[in-house]
Amino acid sequence: MSLSETDPGPASIPAGEPLCTLGDLAPGRSKGFRVEGEETPVLVFLVRPNNARDDEVYGYVNQCAHRSTPLDWVEGEFLDAESKTIVCATHGAVFRIEDGVCIEGPCPGKSLQAVSLEVRGGRIYVSTAPRYR
């Protein structure tokens, strides 16, 4: 079951606190979080590509560019079977990991909303408070 915007779910991670470490997010894996946003808590997720270099990690708001629904198939699972693309559980839209652009499905050319990240000392932080579109 996916978390929704209205589901209280886990506590929000406050600004300035790390989401996780790079070691918690192996290449080819994804992980979801609830973070303090500009106005309300925001569901976000991190992805490390299969061939991730050093501290390469991407973050997006957990909201499909097509219908604004959460993307994860099950909580924290956002990638296809080969961990090469992000796939929306609702409509099957396929997004590139590196830039969040839809390459297949109902919203070609539209993009996921990127989350600004910083990696410091092996820890991953959100550098700018996210918000829903």
25 part of a folded domain: yes
48 part of a folded domain: yes
DSSP H helix total and E strand total for the chain = 0, 9
The CATH number given to whatever domain includes residue 73 is 2.102.10.10
| Residues 67-88 as b or e (16 or more Cβ within 10 Å = b) | eebbbbeeebbbbeeebebbbb
| Structure-token match 């997004």, residue found | 95
- For the stretch 33-80, pLDDT in tens is 999 988 899 999 999 999 999 999 999 999 999 888 999 988 889 999
In 3D, which of 131, 59, 43, 52 has the Cα closest to residue 95? Answer: 59
In angstroms, the CA 28 to CA 48 distance is 6
Which structural domain, as residue segments, surrounds residue 86? Answer: 20-126
- For the stretch 95-125, pLDDT in tens is 999 999 999 999 999 999 999 999 999 999 9
pTM of the model: 0.90
54 part of a folded domain: yes
Looking at the 3D structure of the chain, how many domains does it have?
Answer: 1
Pair 77, 70: CB distance under 8 Å: no
41 part of a folded domain: yes
* Local structure of 44: helix, strand or coil: strand
7 part of a folded domain: no
Q: Is the pLDDT of residue 8 over 90?
A: no
In angstroms, the CA 108 to CA 103 distance is 5
116 part of a folded domain: yes
pLDDT score recorded for residue 39: 85
What radius of gyration do the chain's Cα atoms show?
14
97 part of a folded domain: yes
133 part of a folded domain: no
